[in-house]
Structure 1
Amino acid sequence: MPSKVSNKNLTDSIISNCKFFYGGFHGHSSLSIGEGSPIDCYNYAYRNNLDFLILADHSSFFLNKEHKWNFGLEQCHKFNKKREGFTSFYGFEGKSEFLGDLNIINSKNYFIGNVSNPLVLMIWMLNNPNAFIIISNPLKTICLREYDFNLNKIISCVEVTSGNSERYLRREKYFFKLLDKGWKLGCVNGINETKLNFGDTENLTCIISPKGSKENLIQNIRSRHTYSTESKTLKLLFFINNTFMGGILDDFEELRFTIVIEDKNYAINKIEIISNEGVVVHQIQNIGLKKIKYIYNHIPNIKETWYVIKVYEETNKIALSSPIFLK
């Protein structure tokens, strides 16, 4: 297949027209299993130059203690008013029998216990239209869940990493298995952090959005314009034909991949295009550049229904894009 690599005359206009917001998903405060109040957590992330922080305290700690939930919401609201250029989110971590642990963010209220019926969760979300759901701590059992179109409409993304500064795990294989089953999900870096150290490591999620307001960030999380990164300075853009990362492509015969990557701090060593069953359908190795625009034409195999970009950087850093899907 014809391909082209260029590090000269990088399409800077593409990057300059996009804004990249780096922050943490799946943090915890002292209202459940973490250190520091929500304000302490947001302040720590803000001082570490993150753009946002998502806290998800365990809802079991709110049993007969609704005041703790209300306190978390209040602190989130106060911090958003106090600090420009930073967005704070608050939510809770709940459990389901069908998809395991769930982080439910920006909801008006919470639930306690293990939800056994997907319909109950869907009805609950109708009363929380501004909330979004992340599949957290994915385990092998999650791969048994068949695709559910209606359930997928309320679930935006899944963690492809799970852990914290003490135990950090890459779990992309579960992400790939869900995509194989037909789930339309973006990927995020799930720090699952309990210590007051947000932003001390570079294990983050980037949201690509024109603005950093809460409404804009939520919209772009739902649109799957996200990627998991282990570098605070990695910029990653991914198109197939005219469809951007997170989108669904139809009416095609040939696929034209455009991948634009820039990282001022770390060299890019290898890029992989991954499809169903985790198969690498194309790769470029021994790059050694900090800026690259890569164009590749591909005729899809009938088994290929999604594509993800995996980036390998120096010092063993990995980034993973959200998919583009074929209809």
Structure 2
Amino acid sequence: METSSNIEKYNFYFGIPHSHTGFSTGKGTPTEAFNYAKKKGIDFLIVTDHGGHLYRDKKSNSSKNSKWEILKNDASKFNTKNDKFLSLGGFELTSKNFGDFNVLNSNNIYKGKIKDFNKFTMWLKNQPNPIVSINHPHKYIESFKYNRELDKFINFIEVGNGSPPFKYLNGEKYYYNLLDKGWHIGAINGQDNHRMNWGDTDNLTVVICKSLNKKDFYEALNYRRTYSSETRSLKLIFKVNGKWMGSILSPSKKLNFEIYAEDKKNPIKKVQIISNGEKIIKEKSLKKKGKLKWDFSIPYKKNCWYVAKVIYKDDKMGISSAIFT
């Protein structure tokens, strides 16, 4: 069990889990994207070009390789030379009725559109340890029915998405809607870059893990140990009964909440705890500038979810992955 005493073992890495390059509908190459993002001071970038483009061949040094293979190789080479930045490759695909999804940590690409989610689930089962996120959700995702098997693979939803010249999307309400349906998903924020502006804006995903390597990073994603931030400086710790955000709890008599929110550059107004039905069950305003330490307990109740939401004085937000009972 993870407890408060081992907070020091984790680091908070800020980056982008959803971006594009000229390999599909964006600009530049993956290596240019990784270089640009690193210079912008973020910790990781996942290039998730559209799968339909990635399995096409691209000439490179008089030989032909699929863009998918080149993307993975470019990321690996960049990591070899840069130990303080993590570069990864994934892909985006679309579905018939529920919008777009990203797939991370897969060996190959799912070809075509998702027309049958049972078929997609079977494909996921044949990958080593894939991680799926719901991209830029809109109203149609509200009819996305809970699926126990698919729930094992869909770990995230973008509660924020966008970068110039495109409009920034707030997907918070769809996050709560799917949590109410039973999905075990966490919160991320994707810039979805289609220009050479990886890391220009402040909407980022924070991954909480031991170190900046693929093993620890993907382990954190598997456990949904993430939060969405609209600043570059929010440190958010959210635990219940000693378990980090993203956890599924064992039954107990009480739920002991532990929240720590700190932003040294942007003034926080208040922190809310949100639960089933998007109900605010607790709220606390900041008295001390810059940070809040908050502990409280409530009775255990099964089939509930809890999210910590940080609200800034300028209305920016930070949203945690949920904790489940």
TM-based fold match above 0.5:
yes
Secondary structure of 2:133 counterpart = strand
User: 1:75 corresponds to which residue?
Assistant: 74
Structure 1 residues 131 and 229, CA gap change in structure 2 (3 angstroms): same
2: CA distance between counterparts of 1:124 and 1:162?
Answer: 27
Aligned residue number for residue 88 of structure 2: 89
Measured in 2, the distance between the counterparts of 1:315 and 1:305 equals 30
Q: Deviations 1:242-283 (Å, cap 9, x if unpaired)?
A: 222111123223322110112121222111110112111111
Number of residue pairs matched by the alignment: 315
The residue aligned with 1:33 is 25
Structure 2 residue 55 is the aligned partner of structure 1 residue 56: no
Cα distance in 2 between the residues matched to 1:287 and 1:269:
9
1:111-150 paired onto structure 2 within 5 Å: 111-150=110-149
Question: C-alpha separation between the residues in 1 aligned to 2:309 and 2:31?
Answer: 35
Correspondence for 2:37: 45
| C-alpha separation in 2, matches of 1:289 and 1:15 | 22
1:157 is aligned to 2:156? yes
The Cα of 1:107 is off from its aligned counterpart by: 2.0
> CA distance change for structure 1 residues 64 and 27 in 2, over 3 Å: closer, same or farther?
closer
**Aligned match of 1:24:** 16
CA deviations 1:160-179 (Å, max 9, x no partner) are: 11222331111110010100
Shift, 1:325, TM fit? 0.5
Secondary structure in 2 aligned to 1:224?
coil
The 1-side partners of 2:228 and 2:87 are apart by 19
Report the residue type matching 2:138 in the other structure: L
Counterparts of 2:7 and 2:312, CA distance in 1: 19
* TM-score in terms of structure 2 length: 0.91
SS of equivalent to 1:312 = strand
CA contact (8 A) 2:55 2:67 kept: no
**Partner residue in 2 for 1:211:** 211
**Cα drift, residue 129 of structure 1:** 1.0
Q: For 1:280-319, what aligned pairs fall within 5 Å after superposition?
A: 280-287=280-287, 289-299=289-299, 305-319=304-318
Report if the CA contact (8 A) 2:267-2:313 is conserved. Answer: yes
| Relative contact order higher in (CA < 8 Å, ≥ 6 apart) | 1
Single out whichever of 90-99 and 196-205 deviates more from structure 2: 90-99
Q: Which runs of 5+ in 1 are unaligned?
A: 1-11
> Residue 184 in 1 paired to residue 184 in 2?
yes
- Residue 114 of structure 1 deviates from its aligned partner by 1.5
Contact 2:226 2:321 in 1 (8 A): yes
Specify the alignment match of 2:226 in structure 1: 226
Counterparts of 2:254 and 2:107 in 1: how far apart (Å)? 45
User: Counterpart of 1:28 in structure 2: which amino acid?
Assistant: H
Q: TM-score, length-normalised on structure 1?
A: 0.90
**Which range moves more in the overlay, 118-127 or 276-285?**
118-127
SS of corresponding position for 2:71: helix
Tell me the SS of whatever aligns to 2:141: helix
